[in-house]
């Protein structure tokens, strides 16, 4: 049976919901945000990350690779053909400089539950729990895996949050709703054309699912990733406010300023990040203005940051 891959289990997380949490990051996402800070999360399959700057040219990876995806020139430079790589992980076992790592590991539901429950004491003391994230955890296949994981954690008394872009069929939300305390729900742009340009998909389904979650009584923390000059204008923010005023109930609104800390991951995946230099961090004053605009419109629980 196919099982979704996990690319990170982050302990003691304080930016993915309330309290101290363990965040489980699943691979695979239907969106391709131009500023994605976890590019290794987009492909549902395991991938190899190569930190060329760490490579010493020892050649152990050349001998280890069964797909001949790694070679070495006469001058000793290591070459990597990603088209041949199957992310089997053999080269990572032999790399003396730790310049190679595999993003994507398979766990059973029981293994994830056991790993998460190691920190149950911290959850109890801080009001934390487990956050299922990605990529997009709601597109994991089979989805029964995610439902079982959320149910098992819930039955153990562990708080379950789901971090989602909302770009999935409603049936998946309906399945996991009974076991989820809070949805961390992203709106990246209200303008459909801008959403297609920078996010790679239309936003109609995302907005419909947000409304259905609200109508179902779900607890929602709305998260707004803000990139200066892209989606932080007065027009962009007012469009969100007007949409929320149509009956969308949110327990909290988080303004998440853009950062480029994931830039190095693109190099490690052989990809190019923001070649035109479009993405900028919103100024503190801009974020305060946006927060104030929400408060003026009756949304009191607004936070800058996660």
Residues 182 and 200 in one domain: yes
Q: Which of 103, 130, 145 is the last residue of a domain?
A: 103
Q: What is the CATH number of the domain that holds 163?
A: 3.20.20.70
**C-alpha to C-alpha distance for 154 and 204, rounded to whole angstroms:** 31
pLDDT at residue 46, rounded to an integer: 94
Question: Which residue, among 227, 9, 253, 40, has the nearest Cα to 133 in the 3D structure?
Answer: 9
Query: Which pLDDT score is estimated for 1?
Result: 59
**60 and 148 assigned to the same domain:** no
Same domain, 207 and 262: yes
Q: Using one digit for the tens of pLDDT, what is the confidence trace for 252-274?
A: 999 999 999 889 999 999 999 99
CATH no. for residue 86?
Answer: 3.30.70.20
- Same structural domain for residues 152 and 77? no
Tell me, yes or no, whether 13 and 75 share the same domain. Answer: no
**30 and 57 co-located in one domain:** no
Give 148-152's long-range contacts (Cβ < 8 A, gap of 24+): 148/109, 149/109, 149/112, 149/113, 150/176, 150/179, 150/180, 151/178, 151/179, 152/109, 152/110, 152/113
Query: Using CA atoms, how far apart are residues 240 and 126, in angstroms rounded to an integer?
Result: 32
Spans of the chain below 50 pLDDT: none
Number of neighbours of residue 27 by Cβ within 10 angstroms? 27
Domain boundary among 82, 103, 124: 103
How far is Cα 106 from Cα 208, in angstroms, rounded to an integer?
A: 32
Do 118 and 69 lie in one domain? The reply is: no
Cβ-proximal residues to 90 (8 Å cutoff; 6+ apart), any chain? 64, 65, 66
pTM: 0.95
Domain finish residue from 57, 79, 103? 103
Domain count, the chain: 2
- Do 180 and 257 share a domain, yes or no? yes
161: left (phi over 0), alpha (psi -120 to 50) or beta: beta
Q: Identify whether the C-beta of residue 218 lies closer than 8 Å to the C-beta of residue 267.
A: no
Residues 99 and 117 in one domain: no
Q: Give the model's pLDDT for residue 2.
A: 82
One domain for residues 27 and 97: no
Q: Are residues 53 and 136 in the same domain?
A: no
Same structural domain, 31 and 74: no
* pLDDT per position as a tens digit, 161-210: 999 999 999 999 999 999 999 999 999 999 999 999 999 999 999 999 99
Half-sphere exposure of 135 (CA within 13 A, CB side): 29
Residues 100-138 as b or e (16 or more Cβ within 10 Å = b)? bbbbbeebebeebbebbbebbebbeeeebbbbbbbbbbb
Residue range of the domain that includes 201: 5-44+104-304
């Amino acid at each position: 049976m196919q099982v979704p891959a996990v690319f990170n289990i982050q302990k003691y997380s304080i930016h993915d919901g309330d309290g101290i949490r363990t965040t489980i990051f699943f691979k695979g996402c239907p969106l391709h945000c131009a500023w994605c800070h976890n590019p290794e999360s987009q492909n549902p399959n395991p991938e190899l990350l190569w930190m060329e700057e760490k490579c010493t040219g020892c050649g152990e990876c050349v001998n280890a690779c069964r797909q001949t995806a790694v070679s070495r020139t006469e001058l000793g430079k290591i070459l990597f053909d990603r088209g041949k790589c199957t992310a089997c992980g053999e080269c990572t076992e032999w790399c003396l400089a730790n310049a190679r790592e595999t993003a994507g590991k398979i766990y059973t539901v029981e293994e994830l539950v056991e790993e998460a429950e190691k920190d149950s004491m911290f959850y109890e003391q801080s009001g934390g729990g487990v956050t299922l994230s990605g990529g997009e955890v709601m597109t994991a296949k089979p989805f029964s895996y995610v439902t079982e994981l959320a149910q098992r954690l819930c039955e153990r008394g562990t708080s379950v949050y789901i971090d989602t872009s909302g770009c999935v069929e409603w049936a998946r939300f309906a399945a996991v709703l009974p076991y989820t305390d809070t949805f961390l729900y992203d709106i990246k742009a209200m303008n459909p054309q801008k959403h297609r340009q920078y996010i790679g998909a239309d936003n109609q389904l995302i907005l419909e699912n947000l409304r259905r979650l609200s109508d179902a009584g779900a607890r929602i923390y709305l998260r707004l990733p803000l990139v200066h000059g892209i989606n932080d204008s007065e027009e962009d923010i007012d469009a969100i406010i007007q949409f929320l005023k149509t009956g969308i109930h949110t327990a909290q609104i988080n303004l998440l300023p853009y950062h480029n800390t994931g830039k190095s991951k693109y190099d490690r995946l052989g990809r190019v990040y923001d070649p035109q230099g479009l993405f900028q961090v919103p100024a503190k004053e801009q974020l305060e203005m946006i927060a104030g605009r929400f408060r003026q419109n009756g949304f009191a629980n607004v936070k800058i940051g996660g």
